[in-house]
Each structure stands twice: as structure tokens, then as C-alpha cells.
Amino acid sequence: MREPDPKILVIYRTTAGSEPFSRWLDSLRERIVRARIRTRLDRVSLGNWGDHKAVGHGVIELREHHGQGYRLYCALDGNTVLLLLCGGSKATQPADIAQAQQLWADYQRRRKPHAKSKVPRQTHGRPAKPR
């Protein structure tokens, strides 16, 4: 049996400050559905992923088999952070996957350093030869 692998859940935020996952979750009309999704996220944070699969480009789909067949899209940022990207249903799955992949790519782009260092790299205590 695999050991639980706890994660810190973080909600993705656009440059404009919008949170697609929160917006989607808040748009769900049924309180019971929202409660089930929050319970699922609690389990995921403790390391119990349940029904999930990789859908490409680093995005993971958590499948919730209730009502419309809800889907939660996330990505791993390192070993401890699970970034919640967006959500949807089975009916909107292809568009939701594409959106999640775009949001993940945006997140990764914004995390990269914007300027490369022009200082030559050190190798074994000696300065590297300039190129």
C-alpha cells in the first residue's frame, strides 16, 4: 500500500486577479455538490487522490462521479503544492482540459526568472572560461 502524499492546495490566480477554480465552484447551484467537491479536496490534501488521471501537459483531472460528472483540473508544482486551475463537467470536458492546460502554461511562464544571469558559471571552484 502506498503511503499518503499530502499536498498544499493553492488556487491559481490570473494576472488580473481572477480565480477560475473559485469562480467555477461558486457558480455551482447545488450546495451538496459544492460540499462534495470541498470534501474531495480535503481528501486530496491528505494524499488520497481518488479517481484521477493525467490529461496532458502536466494537468491532472480529478473525476467526481456525482450529478453531471464534475471534473477538477490541477497540476503539481514541485512535490508539495497542488495548484487548482479550473473545473467543469463531463459535458464541457474538452474545453475545460484545454483551458486548464493554458492556465498551467501561464503559471509556469510567470514563475520562470525573466532575466538570465550574465555572470559566468562556476565549475569546481574555478571561474568558467568566458565564451
In a domain, 58, yes or no: yes
Phi then psi dihedrals of residue 10, to 5 deg: -130, 135
In a domain, 36, yes or no: yes
In a domain, 70, yes or no: yes
The two most distant CA atoms of the chain are separated, in Å, by: 64
In a domain, 129, yes or no: no
Query: What is residue 1's predicted lDDT score, i.e. its pLDDT?
Result: 67
Query: What is residue 40's predicted lDDT score, i.e. its pLDDT?
Result: 96
In a domain, 45, yes or no: yes
In a domain, 22, yes or no: yes
* CATH number for the domain harbouring residue 86: 3.30.2310.20
In a domain, 23, yes or no: yes
Query: What is residue 113's predicted lDDT score, i.e. its pLDDT?
Result: 67
SS3 46: coil
How many domains does one find in the chain?
A: 1
Query: What is residue 121's predicted lDDT score, i.e. its pLDDT?
Result: 40
Query: What is residue 4's predicted lDDT score, i.e. its pLDDT?
Result: 79
In a domain, 19, yes or no: yes
Query: What is residue 80's predicted lDDT score, i.e. its pLDDT?
Result: 86
The domain of 19 spans 8-110
pTM summary value: 0.82
What is the block-wise mean pLDDT of the chain (131 residues), using blocks of 10 residues? 85 97 96 95 94 97 93 94 96 98 97 52 43 42
What are the cell numbers at 54? 493525467
Could you give the CA distance from residue 80 to residue 84 in angstroms, rounded to a whole number?
13
What are the cell numbers at 5? 502524499
